[in-house]
Amino acid sequence: MKYSAHIQNVAQHLHGKRLLHSEIPLQNELIKQALKHGYLKAEPGLEMIGRRWTCRRCGNDDQTLFSEHHCARCQTTCSYCRHCLLLGKVSSCQQLYLWIAPQVTVPSRQETLQWRGDLSPGQKKASEAVIKATHEQQELLVWAVCGAGKTEVLFHGLEAAFSQGKRVLIATPRTDVVKELYPRFMQSFPNIPISALYGGSKDKQPNAQLVLATTHQTMRFYKAFDLVVIDEVDAFPFSYDKSLQYAVHHAKKECASTIYLSATPSSSLLTTPNLTVMKISRRFHGFPLPVPRFQWCGNWQKALRKMKLPHVLMTWIKAHQQKKKPILLFVPSISTLHLVSSLLTEKSFVHASVHADDPNRHQAVQAFRDQNIPLLVTTTILERGVTFADVQVAVLGAEQDIFTEAALVQIAGRVGRKVEAPAGDIVFCHYGISQAMRAARKHIEAMNSEGGIK
Ligand SMILES: [Zn+2]
Ligand SMILES: [Zn+2]
C-alpha cells in the first residue's frame, strides 16, 4: 500500500502498536488525518462489561485493581487501571489508538547472522527445531537446563525469520535480561534494527525488526510480530499473571510462531495442546550441573535478630574469599537483605546488596560482574538470566517459601556457567529441609543423568 509522506510518517511510528494519545510522538493534526483515512482506530481504554471494568491494554479485569479519581482531563470522576499504571494511566475517558491499515513491510535481509560460534549437539538439535517452528508456525518449548546456551539456539531461527522479512519479539519478564541480551544480539545481527524496551528506556527504533522487551512493554504492540519468543516463561511474577498471555496474544500476528524458553517449565505449560517440546539436558560445555549441598545453619532468623551471622555461613564466605572467588549470597526477603548487609559491613566485608526496587541495582550488578566487588547479597531478583564467571553461591534460609523448586534450580544454575570455570559450590543453608529443596536437587540430578552425566 502506498501512503502519503505524512501518513508514511505516522505508519512508521504506529503500525503494530496500540498507544495512548500521550504516547504518540506526532502532531495532533497527523493523528486526526490517520483516523479520518481509516488507518488508525481509537477504542476506549477501559471497557465496561456487565458492571465490571476490563482494561483493554493489559487485560486486567480484577475490580480491586481499578481506582477512581477526579480527573483533570474530563473534569468528572473517572476510573483508571492500576495494573498497567507504570506504562501511563489508562482511564475511562481515554482511548487507545491502534493501526488497522496494512503493516509497513519490513525488508527481507539475507545472511544477517555474524555469530560464528559452534553449537553443542543439544543446541544443534534445538536450533533445528527453532528453524522448523519459525517456518511452520508452531508452538515450541525449548526446555534447556541453566547454562545450556539457549540464546545461541535462537540465532539460526532468527536469521531464517529475517530472511523472510519477518518481525521478531523476544519477551522476557526481567529488565536485567533485556539489558544482557541486547548487546549480544547487536553483535550477532549488526545489520538488523534492534530495539530494547524496558521501564525507562527510549524506543529509538520504532520500526525495529527485532524487539527485545519486558512483558510490560509488550503491551504496547498490536498484531506486530511473526515470531514471538517468550524467555523464562515460568518466571515470577508472570506465571501468575494473565497479562503476559494477553499482551503476547495481542502483539502477535494471526499466523505467528511462538517459542517458549525455560529451564523449569510449569506443568501447565507442559500440558499445552499442540506444543512441541525439545529438551537440552546438557550444558553447552558438557560439564554436569552443580548439585546443591544442604547445610544446616540453625535458627538463622534468631541469630540475625541477635545481630549475628550464622557461623557456618561466615566460615563459608571466608573460605571462598581466601581463594578469591566471587560470592553470590541469596536471602529470602528485603528485610533480611538489609540486616545481613549491615552485619557484613560491621565485620568489614566489602560487598554490595541488591533488590528489585533498588535504584543502584544495575551498577552493583555490573561492578560484581567486573569483579570490582567480591560479594553480592541479593534477593531472588538475580535467580535467573545472569552469568557471573566462577561464582560461588549460597542461599540463606533455603527452606523459606519464596525459594520454590524452580527458584532453587535457577539459583543453582548460576554456578559453573563458563567453560573456564565449569564447576563451583552451591550450598543451601537451612533451618529444616523443605520439600522444594529436595525437589530441586532431584530435578538437577535427573537432568544430569538424562544428559548422560553420572
Ligand atoms: Zn477522565
Ligand atoms: Zn491495564
Task: Give domain status of residue 411, yes or no.
Answer: yes
Query: Could you tell me if 273 and 297 lie in one domain?
Result: no
Report the separation in Å between the CA atom of 97 and the middle of ligand 2, taken as the mean of its atom positions: 15
Query: Could you tell me if 433 and 319 lie in one domain?
Result: yes
Mean pLDDT, residues 102-125: 90
**Which amino acid, 415?**
V
**Which amino acid, 53?**
W
Higher pLDDT, 128 or 238: 128
Cα angle for residues 144, 150, 155 (degrees, 5° grid): 145
The mean of the pLDDT values for the chain is: 91
What percent of the chain stands above pLDDT 70?
A: 97
Instruction: Give 318-374 pLDDT, tens digit per residue.
Output: 999 999 999 999 999 999 999 999 999 999 999 999 998 888 888 999 999 999 999
Mean pLDDT, residues 253-268: 91
Q: Are 278 and 122 in contact (CB under 8 A)?
A: no
Query: Could you tell me if 77 and 27 lie in one domain?
Result: yes
Integer Rg of the chain from CA:
24
SS3 content of the chain, % helix, strand, coil (to 5): 35, 25, 40
Query: Which range is least confidently modeled, 260-274, 304-318, 337-351, 426-440?
Result: 260-274
Question: Is 4 in a helix, a strand, or coil?
Answer: coil
- DSSP one-letter string for 151-181: HHHHHHHHHHHHHTT--EEEEES-HHHHHHH
Per-residue confidence band for 251, with pLDDT thresholds at 50, 70 and 90: very high
Backbone angles phi, psi at 279, to 5 degrees: -105, 135
Among the three residues 280, 310, 339, which one is the final residue of a domain in this structure? 280
**Which amino acid, 307?**
M
Q: How many domains does the chain have?
A: 3
Query: Could you tell me if 316 and 403 lie in one domain?
Result: yes
Q: What is residue 239's predicted lDDT score, i.e. its pLDDT? A: 47
| pLDDT reading at 53 higher than 60 | yes
- Residue written as cell 519479539? 169
Among the three residues 99, 133, 162, which one is the final residue of a domain in this structure? 99
Report the separation in Å between the CA atom of 200 and the middle of ligand 2, taken as the mean of its atom positions: 18
Distance, in Å, from the CA atom of 390 to the CA atom of 423, rounded to the nearest integer, reads 8
Report the separation in Å between the CA atom of 50 and the middle of ligand 2, taken as the mean of its atom positions: 18
Query: Could you tell me if 425 and 404 lie in one domain?
Result: yes
Q: The C-alpha cell of 95 is what?
A: 482511548
Distance, in Å, from the CA atom of 128 to the CA atom of 138, rounded to the nearest integer, reads 13
Report the separation in Å between the CA atom of 262 and the middle of ligand 2, taken as the mean of its atom positions: 27
Report the separation in Å between the CA atom of 209 and the middle of ligand 2, taken as the mean of its atom positions: 26
Ligand at shortest distance from the CA of 219: 2
Report the separation in Å between the CA atom of 183 and the middle of ligand 1, taken as the mean of its atom positions: 41
Q: What is residue 345's predicted lDDT score, i.e. its pLDDT? A: 96
Report the separation in Å between the CA atom of 90 and the middle of ligand 1, taken as the mean of its atom positions: 9
Mean pLDDT, residues 138-157: 94
Q: What is residue 266's predicted lDDT score, i.e. its pLDDT? A: 85
Query: Could you tell me if 267 and 302 lie in one domain?
Result: no
Query: Could you tell me if 344 and 269 lie in one domain?
Result: no
Report the separation in Å between the CA atom of 59 and the middle of ligand 2, taken as the mean of its atom positions: 6
Report the separation in Å between the CA atom of 246 and the middle of ligand 1, taken as the mean of its atom positions: 25
Query: Could you tell me if 354 and 441 lie in one domain?
Result: yes
Query: Could you tell me if 37 and 128 lie in one domain?
Result: no
- Label residue 82 exposed, middle or buried (CB < 10 Å: 0-12, 13-18, 19+): middle
Q: What is residue 3's predicted lDDT score, i.e. its pLDDT? A: 60
Report the separation in Å between the CA atom of 221 and the middle of ligand 2, taken as the mean of its atom positions: 14
Instruction: Give 414-424 pLDDT, tens digit per residue.
Output: 999 999 999 99
Higher pLDDT, 377 or 180: 377
- Label residue 202 exposed, middle or buried (CB < 10 Å: 0-12, 13-18, 19+): exposed
- 252 pairs with which residues across the strands? 225
Q: What is residue 241's predicted lDDT score, i.e. its pLDDT? A: 65
Distance, in Å, from the CA atom of 270 to the CA atom of 247, rounded to the nearest integer, reads 20
Q: What is residue 216's predicted lDDT score, i.e. its pLDDT? A: 84
Structural domain range at position 254: 121-280
| pLDDT reading at 2 higher than 70 | no
Q: Domain containing 384 — which CATH number?
A: 3.40.50.300
Query: Could you tell me if 275 and 324 lie in one domain?
Result: no
Among the three residues 248, 280, 312, which one is the final residue of a domain in this structure? 280
Report the separation in Å between the CA atom of 81 and the middle of ligand 1, taken as the mean of its atom positions: 12
Distance, in Å, from the CA atom of 162 to the CA atom of 210, rounded to the nearest integer, reads 9
CB atoms within 10 A of CB 420: 7
Ion ligand 2, residue ranges at CB < 5 A: 55, 57-58, 60, 81, 83-84
